[in-house]
Structure 1
């Protein structure tokens, strides 16, 4: 999937402006005021004006830099559309439970969808969107998506079932609830990423780093069973991910 440099630069500039407006130029007191006062919040209006100004600046530069691009009135209209959508999305978020990851992700996804729609309208063609869709349904991308999904909960269930015969012999109450499963998922995601990038040496460094982190706990516990349990679980997790990653590279990535 190859896009023209100029349209792609515009998309990146719009996203950069959004990130600056949402995270660098939005004090926490504005967020608190929006959650408390909802549509009556002056801080929400200030936040919307910041986004409108940033988007307008990006579109003005795009108008001047690219021959045949929409003019300054279109830049103003696009900025106002982003500002209005931002007001509606942030106002809706203010009525939802604060500090919930799912609402944060939904909020950012909606903002990015608006920016994507503005970008397509600005460049005047849906060709990049068709390219993205064609890329997403390619065997390589679908294979990678399946692999990353597999190394999360499916592998966790499989490894837990393999380790169940020994888990009742281990008593380790000084750990966070379900922390082991989440650490295992992150470990497999990192291993799979390194395998797909053909960085097998880095997998060794990852194992060494985990061994160093766990060495103190295992030494202080003086529990041989716990040491063997951790070692067996780690090797099972890493080995299964290595096999999956190498198989994916052999069957899908090479095509």
Structure 2
């Protein structure tokens, strides 16, 4: 299959970036930057990992060596750039991985010498169904969090909870809505009921023991509003995108 080499390249990347990269290599890269020996070793390892994958895929020796050099050099440049940024920021980690994947996709596309798979992927991404699905998932994250916060503002001043993580509630709500939306789109409404019940029992029991009735009611109100809005959005999306 034409996608097998790409999967092999991605597998080799994950192996080199996570399983075969000692922690002290990462620390060395962050501390020493371009002078870090570990940075060169890490990039070279990625280049070496590409060789057996391309060899098994049937690529010529010349192309395999050239592709391995490209992967090693670009990996070195990307990781060097990341070393200048805050290592504990999720956005830089995601950008780093996205750039590595783009390089591997480019290597695969050049080896394949056929733009049909990329054109098919682009066509799928621009389909109304795909765009509608992405839009629906986007709506239930930050935009819906802001809408719910505004809706609950009349009661937010009456409650205080210093025993929770900062902004944890909003992030829990977003993850909850993503899960609910996925279940709705998969016609698994019964599972949504189980999820809501488990969340309500857990939170209500925890808050009741602390005897904070206002906070309990506020949390349950937010949960019900969040789940209800997600259900409506999911059902509308299912009807409009897939006709039910």
Normalised-by-shorter TM-score class: over 0.9
Q: Structure 2: where are the runs of 5+ without partners?
A: none
Equivalent residue number for residue 209 of structure 1: 198
SS class of match (2:18): helix
Q: What residue ranges of structure 1 are gaps of 5+ in the alignment?
A: 1-5, 64-69
Residue 103 (structure 2) pairs with residue 114 (structure 1): yes
Deviates more, 1:134-143 or 1:163-172: 163-172
TM-score by length of 2: 0.94
Cα drift, residue 190 of structure 1: 0.9
Query: Is 1:91 aligned with 2:80?
Result: yes
Residue deviations 1:26-67, cap 9 Å, x none?
00111112222222222122112211111111000001xxxx
2:218 matched to which residue of 1?
A: 229
What is the CA–CA distance in structure 2 between the aligned matches of 1:219 and 1:28, rounded to whole Å?
43
Match of 1:15 among 2, 5, 10: 10
Distance 1:207 1:218 in 2: 16
Residue 47 (structure 1) aligned with residue 42 (structure 2): yes
User: In the alignment, is the contact (CA less than 8 A) between 2:29 and 2:83 conserved in 1?
Assistant: yes
Query: Partners in 1 of 2:118 and 2:3 — Cα distance?
Result: 12
Q: Deviations over 1:58-92 (max 9, x none)?
A: 000001xxxxxx42221111111111111111122
Residue 117 of structure 2 corresponds to 128
The Cα offsets for residues 88-126 of structure 1, whole Å up to 9 and x where unpaired, read as: 111222222332222211111111110010010011011
Q: Distance in 1 between matches of 2:89 and 2:157?
A: 35
Shift of 1:254: 3.4
Give the match for residue 74 of structure 1.
Answer: 63
Compute the RMSD of aligned alpha carbons: 1.6
Residue of structure 2 aligned with 1:241, choices 230, 233, 243:
230
CA contact (8 A) 2:204 2:216 kept: no
Please show how residues 160-179 of structure 1 align to structure 2 within 5 Å.
Answer: 160-179=149-168
Aligned equivalents of 2:243 and 2:62: distance in 1?
Answer: 48
